[in-house]
Structure 1
Amino acid sequence: MGPVTIAARRRSLFWRIHFWAALIASPFAFIAVSTGMLYIFTPQIEAALYGQLERVAPQEARLPLDAAVEAARKAAPAGFEVLAVTPPARAGDAVRVGFGPPRPGAGAHAGHGEAAAATAAPAARPGQGGERITVFVDPYRGQVLGSQRDQDRFSEWARRLHSRLLQGESLRWMIELAASWMLVMLLTGLYLWWPRPGQPALPRSGARGRAGWKQWHAFIGVLLGVLSLAMVLTGITWSKYAGENVRALRDWSGQASPQAPARLHSMPQGQQLSYQQAWDRTRALVPDAPPQLTPPRGPHGVWRAGSADRRHPASRFDLVLNAYDGQVLYRAGWDDQTAFGKATAVGIPFHRGELGVWNQLLLFVFAAGVLFSLVSGWVMFFQRRRAGALGLPKLLPGAWRAAPPVGVVIGIGMCALMPLLAWSAAAVIAIEAALHWRQRRA
């Protein structure tokens, strides 16, 4: 058996696997990419939808942050407690105060007036029924601009549409299945495109019909390969089944992000820091990153602060302060992150288009390219398929035995990491075995 024969058998095998990957992934990938294109422009859409809540006319001086929180409490549902406060990052920003239903023991350990809030507003308010809400307050006038259930925001709706088609957890597996096979499609497509003698890497002008579709399908797929790899891998990190394996592997390898110790607490000594004092203390420690503040729960609670701006991953931080004197109990920033933590801190906001307009435009071009690859692949399939035939790419005899060892190892590793890929691959192998048995009997 000469090397050309082995190369031909391997190529037929990769064509076959590439076809199966496209067959399985295409419907779900088309939905994921289409809904993702909508999600890309979330900042602009939300600015148009919620500008009257989020933006204010700047004045000479802001009121203390506590005044805004107190105004928000009066507009919150009865009994709801403050979960987080996002002070204004810019002069025209509103204060955002997040509320949620009382947690176990909240009545006994409520801090900063949560217990009194139970009688501050009537029960029939937005957010009743165990849902979190955000109240927006003008930081200059102390005026409540409105409130909103977190689940009603466009970004939340678009996220649920993109990741689970608004169907809760029941359809989440479909997007994970698509991401798994898109990775297979990407790797096999790269192998098939890899230039061979007499085959140029760049598209040739003048090609028509299936040949024209084929060269542009391959070229655009490879051109977007790095982006595709980044998008698929970051999507897999927060998937349900493969994501659990990724996180387990991360923890096993010591790449988990640093976490504040669970039992950090404050010893009562006078009055707890006010919201304004906690904000001032946080800005003194981390002056270049807009914070989100989480108030202490009860006399032994602590102030917690973290970055409220996803556009600058290197500015992310976690801070825990003594509730009474502002002493730093825990602090972690970019330099304390693991390599995996840094990769996800950049990769996930990039996947969501949160790093700026350049990020959004790049993702839009990427999504358009993926849609072209999906559509052109099916155009070529129907151009090749003969009437009455399945249209499967021809598999040369001995193709499976010609699989390169490196490819086998990569395939086994991917299946071990991505359970849905393993189960669906087993189904594909069973179908292939049935087709082979039928062909031998014919």
Structure 2
Amino acid sequence: MIKIAKTIMAKLHLWLGLGSGLVVFIVALTGSLLVFEDELEPVLYPRFHKVDVVEGAHRLPLDAIVSSAQKAFPDKKVGRILVEPYPDRTVIVALKQSKKEKDLLSVAVDPYTGQVVDSRVEQDSFFAVVIRLHRYLCMGDTGKVITGISCCSFLIIMLSGLVLWWPNRKNRKQRFRVKWDASFKRLNWDLHAVLGFYVVPFTFLIASTGLIWSYKWVNNLLFYAFDGKPQTKREAPANPTAAVVKQAVFFEKIYTETNRLLPNTGLVTLTMPDKDSLAVTVSKSNDEAAISNIVDFLYFDNKTGDLVKKRLYDDETKGFKARRVIFPIHTGSLLGWPTKIIALLAALTTASLPVTGFMIWWGRTRKKKAPEKTRKPIAARAVPRKLPRVTQV
């Protein structure tokens, strides 16, 4: 019975691995890059993110900064404003011409001089491409289906691989360590089986949380488990003020009030509504929290800049808080650098598994049984024919 079960597991492991191996390789490799996205982004685009801070210089009002971006690109409207909590960072003003995210133009403005230092189409930036490759294989909805199926397959692959790896008394030592001085065939097997065993807990957690983005029913299942009901759509409340001209210090007023109500350090994002009938959404991350991705929301009147509503993290439902934790678990940013390093090593090792697994399979298919040596027939020896004796009469 055990032998039959292992045979089934071996078949599942092989054919699911061959079917999803390339997708797993791409997703894991791009995932390893996304682990340190926040740290690498300013390194890749220093002009876009960093400015020189002159001693004694004061930051301009946010309205003046936004006005500089709009003057440079007068045909576009303000979509988002990102203000980082570091003095040497630019203020990013995201301008849009339509509701489509691909039309978003990010403009970097020096907060001390008001000068536009750089701009880019957000969808063309390096990490935007990496994210599309990671989630959709750059194939839109079709890619999302493929990555979702591959993710499910990979969960089965890990479970079947664990069954196949399970040691007995004879090979217990072999299952827990890589024999670096062995032959290439043995070393490749160890890199696949042994390293695969060590990363299974982390990779299984990363892959299973990834299903939240692939399938809506998995996301709702999380909310059912904690709240007893599916996720409710969150949107900005209705704007209380109609036909009123915006104040001259509109954005600065909102930004100042946000920092007063939420004095913690963190990124402030102002999102303008698509309709004038809705309020402005402001989010601020809490970099001082024990775990990452803790965000509070405030809503302001899009004409007067007055506070309309608060939506603080502490007041959220258990389901919403659980959903907030999923992202840092998936990316490894939950507890900062220690968990990020673990996620990086797990992602890189996971990317290697389809390669080493394919080489194991390829080696077995190439291995041919030695052809049986056919014996050459021994040439018949010329045996002199015996003549019959002549009987003498």
Q: TM-score, normalised by structure 1?
A: 0.69
Q: Does 1:203 align with 2:177?
A: yes
Query: Does the CA-based 8 Å contact 2:90-2:108 persist in structure 1?
Result: yes
Once the two structures are TM-superposed, the CA of residue 159 in structure 1 deviates from its matched residue by 1.6
Contact 2:192 2:356 in 1 (8 A): yes
Alignment of 1:194-233 (within 5 A): 194-200=166-172, 201-203=175-177, 213-233=188-208
- Secondary structure of the structure 2 residue equivalent to 1:169: helix
Aligned residue in 1 for 2:159: 187
Residues 283/82 of structure 1: CA separation in 2 closer, same or farther (3 Å cut)? same
Structure 2 spans left out of the alignment, 5+ residues: 370-393
Change (3 A) 1:61 1:228: same
Q: Which amino acid aligns with 2:46?
A: G
* Equivalent residue in structure 2 for 1:75, among 69, 72, 89: 72
In structure 2, the residue matched to 1:135 is 107
Contact 1:42/1:154 (8 A) holds in 2: no
Is the CA contact (8 Å cut-off) linking 2:332 and 2:343 kept in structure 1?
A: yes
Q: Corresponding residue for 2:261? A: 285
Mapped to 1, the partners of 2:297 and 2:274 lie a distance apart of 18
Deviation of the 1:92 alpha carbon? 0.7
| Secondary structure of 1:313's aligned partner | coil
Query: Match of 2:375?
Result: none
* Residues 1:362 and 2:357 are matched in the alignment: no
**SS at 1:83's partner residue?**
strand
Change (3 A) 1:328 1:14: same
Structure 2 vs 1, CA of residues 286 and 259 (structure 1 numbering), >3 Å: closer, same or farther? farther
* Cα pair distance change 1:335/1:194, threshold 3 Å: farther
- Answer yes or no: is the 8 Å Cα contact 2:36–2:340 preserved in 1: yes
> How has the CA–CA distance of structure 1 residues 63 and 349 changed in structure 2, closer, same or farther, with 3 Å as cutoff?
same
Provide the C-alpha distance between the structure 2 equivalents of 1:371 and 1:325, rounded to a whole number of angstroms: 49
- Which amino acid letter does the alignment assign opposite residue 48 of structure 1? V
Rounded Cα–Cα distance in structure 2 between residues aligned with 1:217 and 1:152: 35
Partner of 1:145: 117
Distance 1:75 1:384 in 2: 62
CA contact (8 A) 1:318 1:332 kept: yes
Partner residue of 2:86?
Answer: 90
How far apart are the structure 1 equivalents of 2:346 and 2:71?
A: 46
Displacement of 1:276 in angstroms is 0.8
**Alpha-carbon separation, structure 2, partners of 1:219 and 1:381:** 17
The aligned counterpart of 1:109 is none
**More displaced 10-residue stretch of structure 1: 203-212 or 377-386:** 203-212
CA distance 1:298–1:353, change in 2 (3 Å): same
**CA displacement 1:208-233 (0-9 Å, x = unmatched):** 56555444432211210121112212
Larger CA Rg, structure 1 vs 2: 2
**What residue identity is the alignment partner of 1:316?**
V
Does the C-alpha gap of structure 1 residues 313 and 342 become closer, same or farther in structure 2, counting only changes over 3 Å? farther
Give SS of 1:89's match: coil
Matches within 5 A, 1:289-438: 289-295=266-272, 301-307=278-284, 313-323=292-302, 324=304, 326-334=306-314, 336-339=316-319, 341-352=320-331, 356-385=336-365
**Residues 38/290 of structure 1: CA separation in 2 closer, same or farther (3 Å cut):** closer
Which residue of 59, 68, 80 maps to 1:62? 59
Equivalence for 1:416:
none
Contact 2:53 2:88 in 1 (8 A): yes
- Return the alpha-carbon distance in structure 1 between the equivalents of residues 150 and 315 of structure 2: 35
Identity %: 25
Q: Give the aligned CA root-mean-square deviation in angstroms.
A: 3.4
Aligned to 2:378: none
CA distance in 2 between partners of 1:161 and 1:298 (Å): 31
C-alpha separation between the residues in 1 aligned to 2:44 and 2:192? Answer: 38
TM-score, structure 2 as length reference: 0.77
Q: 1:382 to 1:362 in 2, by over 3 A?
A: same
- Which residue matches 1:265? 239
Q: d(CA) in 1 for partners of 2:31 and 2:258? A: 35
CA–CA distance in structure 1, aligned partners of residues 259 and 270 of structure 2: 11
Q: CA deviation at 1:67?
A: 0.6
Shift of 1:100: 1.1
Q: Distance in 1 between matches of 2:16 and 2:274?
A: 51
1:215–1:140 CA distance, 2 compared to 1 (3 A): closer
**Change over 3 Å in CA distance of 1:325–1:163 after alignment to 2:** closer
Q: Aligned partner of 1:57: which letter?
A: D
Partner residue of 2:97 out of 98, 101, 114? 101
- Distance in 2 separating the partners of 1:220 and 1:364: 14
8 Å CA contact retained: 1:310, 1:349: no
Q: Does the C-alpha gap of structure 1 residues 216 and 137 become closer, same or farther in structure 2, counting only changes over 3 Å?
A: closer
Equivalent AA in structure 2 for residue 139 of structure 1: P
Contact preservation (8 Å) 1:353, 1:363: yes
Amino acid at match of 1:190: L
CA contact (8 A) 2:282 2:298 kept: yes
Give unmatched runs, 5+ long, in structure 1: 1-5, 104-126, 390-442
Q: Distance in 2 between matches of 1:335 and 1:222?
A: 40
